[in-house]
Amino acid sequence: MAPQPRTMAPTAEREVWTKSQPIRSGEQWRSKEKRSAKGRQRVVVVDDLTKLGNVLKECPTTLKHVNEKEVEEARTKAKSVGVQLHSFDQLVGTEKDGEKTAQETEDHPPKPNDTYIVCYTNGTTGTPKGVLLSHTNVLSNFAALSLLLERFMPEPMDSHGSIISYLPLSHMFEQCAHWIALSFGFRIGYFSGDIAQSL
């Protein structure tokens, strides 16, 4: 998973899409030639039409599949540059020919040293840098923040607490705040440009 901040510049997005690939723990980036090998397919999750427009504009030759919301306008744009657009239900195999299907999957829990995320800078000051974080990295961060909050701010650490999420989820601190909220069972309000709506 390589989430991208909303502030990421289009040229930086292209750099991330070019480098993003499935990574095994400890594996170094392959050479540019191998990354661009024919026949390799990339899957990029796009959460809004503006970002989809950037994807289609910057990478129509290297990107073959895009996962996006079911929006007819997005399907038309994607088809015009030869990109296949799939719904999330199709991707996970719970929809076939418009019909919902039940599907059981085997659980494969991650190992401590497996890569959890590739966290990129937004690239506004140069080429974006990607940092590989393992499950051990993130759980250590989560455990440390939990202990600090329980010791110095115990009041909000129960099911009656709440936070307002301002940062993008590609920001590691915001992800950590979500893990805390979900673990302790309190509410998350998402900032949408109007603070009154979040409250």
Hey, where are the domains in the chain?
10-102+111-131, 134-198
Residues 6+ apart with CB under 8 A from 162: 156, 181, 186, 187, 188, 189
Residue 1 has what pLDDT? 45
Classify residue 118 as exposed, middle or buried by CB count within 10 Å of its CB (0-12, 13-18, 19+): middle
- Give SS3 for 188: strand
Measured distance CA(142)–CA(175) in Å, rounded: 9
Distance (Å, whole) CA 10 – CA 1: 19
Tens-binned pLDDT, residue by residue, of the chain (199 aa): 445 555 555 555 555 555 554 433 333 333 333 444 444 555 566 666 666 666 666 665 555 545 444 467 777 778 888 877 776 666 666 656 656 665 667 788 999 999 998 887 777 777 878 888 999 999 999 899 888 888 888 776 677 778 888 887 778 888 888 888 888 888 888 877 776 765 5
Cβ neighbours for 41, distance < 8 A, ≥ 6 positions apart? 64, 65
pLDDT at residue 199, rounded to an integer = 59
What is the predicted pLDDT for the residue at 30?
A: 37
Instruction: State the pLDDT at residue 193.
Output: 72
Q: How far is CA 180 from the centre of its chain?
A: 18
125: its two tokens? 């000051």
Strand pairing report for 95-96 and 99-100: antiparallel
Which residues are CB-contacts of 61 (< 8 A; sequence separation ≥ 6)? none
Q: Which residues share a beta bridge with 43?
A: 65
- Do residues 4 and 13 make contact, with C-beta atoms less than 8 angstroms apart? yes
Task: Please give the C-alpha separations between residue 193 and each of 75, 80, 197, 198, in angstroms, as whole numbers.
Answer: 28, 33, 8, 9
Say how far residue 11 (Cα) sits from the centre of its chain. Answer: 18
